[in-house]
Structure 1
Amino acid sequence: IACLGKFDIYRDGESWTEKTSVWKRPLRPQAFPYINFESVTRETLLNYSSFTMNRTMTALYEQDFLYLPDTSEHIVADLKIAYNPALRTLAADLIPDLELKVFGILQNEVNVGGEWNKELFQRYLATKLEPSTEIVNDSLSLIHLATDQPLMVRFLLMQHAVDFLPESSHMARFAKGDYGEAQSAMFRVLLDEFGYGKHAAKHSTLFKETLKSVGMLDNSHAYWNFYLNSSLLNNNYFHMLTRSPERFFEYVGAITYAENAFGPYCGRVKTLIQHVFTEADTRYYTEHVHIDSYHGSMTLNEILLPLADRFGASIYPDFVKGIEMACILQHIMEEDLCAQITWMNKRSDYRQLAMDIKATVLANIENIPVAHLNEPRGELSVPHVHDGDEFCIVDEGLLRFCHGPDCFSDLAAGECVVIARNRLHGALVLSENCKYRILSIGDYRQYATYSL
């Protein structure tokens, strides 16, 4: 994996957002020597090692997705830098091991046993696809309550962008081959996503219009640095399935669940966006409220159930595994997104917490691992996470601490902030030089008299 540091597209950029390149994917390769790329557990699911592996997988999976900029005078040379045999060889070597390390434990959680038949499966499916009437207290509810709703809506759209901009490109892998009527039904879903060949109606085009209408960049992976670990994890699951024909039936289960769940979710997102940005273009979400009820029916009645009739009970466990994995990943994404929204919303509280525990932490500094940094103006830290709570204190200069996109705290000498475990953050030096320290305090509550 250290070999990836040789490729400029994977090195740190000069900004937290990428305004020009459609191929830039910062992986922080300078940190690779200090990472133990161990198999992910539930406890380490959102840790830095897992995050790095998910970023790496997404970057390598997309070696077979074609991205082109609006224009370039050196496009042939650019393509040879972004796509080349060395990278494809690395992808072939690294991806299987990364998949096992990232998804092994999660997949082992889904044990599908017993004797399945059509009646049992359809009863199970009905419980999974039945629309919920419960009042949901989730990330969208948190955004409604946030002090800066526009900021949080834009952050939500960034999480959607990892999948929505190259929308259904995963599915296109299963448009190839020859497997009967189910293939034609799959292709019709794909055609819908691609606007039946009309670029203005293509779903990713509609999503770009949403982004632009709320003042955001619309080039692919402009917000790579702010994708959450769980957003990448979910996206990588569908990459993994569609690159593995032997897991086709698991994919059918997962995509059937996803298509049936996505329409109602899009209705709620549309309402939220229109509440915050009254002039926003929400056609993408309006379209999916409509089309995904159709796609949900199609994936169920024209793909999944006919395949079950055709091949019998042996494929039900794979269907169930895909459905359960989609549910698990959806739950993980919600938890991660809610935690990040809360962390961003409470940024002033984490600054105050740091000031409140400053004396106690520094009194114990001999027993705490400390990183001493001395960086020049413009030095940028690509957003990342830590495996435990950290205490950041500036000794000299001015540091812009990034809690999330357009969510900053400027720290002068003597000022500090607590960095919550697993929360995305970065930094930018604003003075000629800045000296600051990062103290690995483990759990801030051992120094504090209250919890956030």
Structure 2
Amino acid sequence: MSPVSRIKSAPDDPNGIVRRYAANSPFRSATAEELVNEDNPFRRPVRPHDLGFLDYGTPLTADRVLRLSALLGHRMLRTVHDADLLFVPAGGAGHPSADDAEAFRSVENRVLALQAGQVLEHHLFHWLGEQHTPVEGGTDAVVRHVQGVLEERRAHPGKALDVAGSTRHRADAATYLLAQLTAARPAVQSAVGRGLLGDYGTAHPALRELLLDDLRERAARLPHYEALLGGAELSAEPYAYWQFLLGSSLAGANHLHSVARDHARLGEFLGAWVHHRLDESVTAAAYGEVFREAFGEDGAAYFTGVPQLTGEGIAELTGALLGPLVERFGAEGALSFHRGFEDARRLAAVSDGDLAVQLDWADRLDEYKDKAEKLDALIAANNIEVDLETFVESHEETSTTHVHDDHRLVVVEVGQMHFWNNVGQMIPMNEGDKLLIPAERLHGSMVRSGTCTYHQPVISEELLGQV
């Protein structure tokens, strides 16, 4: 329970460890046929070639948690956590999933996953510890804080939900919003199941039943989850929309698994779990409305069944969890719970803001095409020197979805390509077409002509501010 149990530093050669882990075949870059993956839960495209220039030995700071290393890091960390969970191949010997399943389940991969997990957690989550503010006042203060967050979130469930409800292309926004839920809800259920397994005995006599009730409730709503996806004409297969998942959408459940796996962080796990329950409660009605409008009544039933938390109810739950922790570990029990709750709250806020910006950008691509034209003309007219990358790619060469750490234009010189940033969206780009891709926006592409030559000028904040 002591904070010294937290990861303090990355091991020697952290980048080598991550690269060796990512060399496993399920991580290979995506092909043209793998934009959506409905029959191979072991397939996890990562862009391993990018790991040659990314540094996982240095922890992220709060202002860099949406960068490329975070996206790829959370993809790999999710796979670390999934290494000992059950996934079923789509077919027997000869089916593509069979080879990936064997590589995924191999002893070597599991050993590398344990090593890589330590590096990735340090890189991805170290910034959370830098923002910890110890709560004073013990159990009562923690309970009041949790109640306050509940009331605050009731009043403002989320920016992304506001954006999704005001976009011009509502069904597209709802589809993307739903895809992000596939990154979180099933994984949270697995984390609760992971935390349930243990001999708590007299140490925390109420815990097993509380977690079991949560797991039963989530399992009971599974048919409604599948109906929700079916109503949107989406697959319920695990990670079918892997390439469209934001790193921030993977992060919350990754954190919950991290604290569930490290049993010295029991208090943090319970605090994070309470925040996930709180977050699901305060957003349920708004999610239900977005999906009802987009997909009909099938979009509402899953959220109707989400347990609603009152101020009194969440105080009772928090008190029931904290009592045995404080009795056994003293003040550190309350501090640990508060750390887990606050870390989960911060990650949820990052995810909400990231998703809101992504939805807004995808909804206004026509405006970003106009900005791209203006920026390209401005650069040419004033002979402005900018960093530039040029790519020459062949037919069906595919760019696994990614983000850039800077603003970029895409300028097609020769050939045709498809650009995508949402499920089912294939945006054609022909010779002379231009698009502005802001920093940290998830996207991918595929060449549709025999060859395609395109350029990516890097746009500074100063230059961007001129259009």
TM-score between both structures, scaled by the size of structure 1 = 0.90
Q: Which moved more, 1:363-372 or 1:331-340?
A: 363-372
In structure 2, the CA distance between the partners of 1:281 and 1:366, relative to structure 1 (3 Å rule), is closer
In the other structure, the counterpart of 1:180 is 201
In the other structure, the counterpart of 1:43 is 63
Which residues of 2 match residues 79-98 of structure 1 at below 5 A?
A: 79-98=101-120
Q: Is the 8 A contact 2:38 2:240 kept in 1?
A: yes
Q: Distance in 2 between matches of 1:384 and 1:253?
A: 32
In the other structure, the counterpart of 2:296 is 278
Q: Which has the higher contact order (CA 8 A, sep 6+)?
A: 2
Q: Is the 8 A contact 1:60 1:95 kept in 2?
A: yes
Which residues of 2 match residues 311-322 of structure 1 at below 5 A?
A: 311-322=329-340
Which residues of 2 match residues 18-417 of structure 1 at below 5 A?
A: 18-37=37-56, 38-73=58-93, 79-112=101-134, 114=136, 116-130=137-151, 132=153, 134=155, 138-180=159-201, 185-195=206-216, 202-289=220-307, 296=314, 299-309=317-327, 311-362=329-380, 367-417=385-435
Q: 1:82, CA displacement in angstroms?
A: 2.0
In structure 2, the CA distance between the partners of 1:194 and 1:127, relative to structure 1 (3 Å rule), is closer
Q: Is the 8 A contact 2:419 2:427 kept in 1?
A: yes
AA of the residue aligned to 1:241: V
Q: Is the 8 A contact 2:147 2:311 kept in 1?
A: no
AA of the residue aligned to 1:84: S
Q: Distance in 1 between matches of 2:120 and 2:334?
A: 27
The CA deviation string for residues 166-219 of structure 1, in whole angstroms up to 9 with x for no partner, is 4421122222222236766444444445548xx9x5444432221112100111
Q: Which moved more, 1:1-10 or 1:148-157?
A: 1-10
Q: Does residue 1:10 correspond to 2:27, yes or no? A: yes
Q: Secondary structure at the match of 2:459?
A: strand
Q: Is the 8 A contact 1:193 1:202 kept in 2?
A: no
Q: Distance in 2 between matches of 1:448 and 1:302?
A: 52
Q: Is the 8 A contact 1:252 1:322 kept in 2?
A: yes
The CA deviation string for residues 136-187 of structure 1, in whole angstroms up to 9 with x for no partner, is 5621111111111111111111111112234421122222222236766444
Q: Is the 8 A contact 1:241 1:247 kept in 2?
A: yes
Q: Is the 8 A contact 1:19 1:217 kept in 2?
A: yes
Give the length in aligned residue pairs: 445
Q: Which moved more, 1:269-278 or 1:73-82?
A: 73-82
AA of the residue aligned to 2:85: F
Q: Distance in 2 between matches of 1:70 and 1:203?
A: 24
Q: Distance in 1 between matches of 2:30 and 2:314?
A: 40
Identify unmatched segments of 5+ residues in structure 1: none
TM-score between both structures, scaled by the size of structure 2 = 0.87
AA of the residue aligned to 1:152: A
CA RMSD across the alignment = 2.7
Q: Distance in 2 between matches of 1:293 and 1:284?
A: 23
Q: 1:360, CA displacement in angstroms?
A: 2.3
Q: 1:296, CA displacement in angstroms?
A: 4.9
Q: Which moved more, 1:431-440 or 1:172-181?
A: 172-181
Q: Is the 8 A contact 2:143 2:318 kept in 1?
A: no
In structure 2, the CA distance between the partners of 1:144 and 1:390, relative to structure 1 (3 Å rule), is same
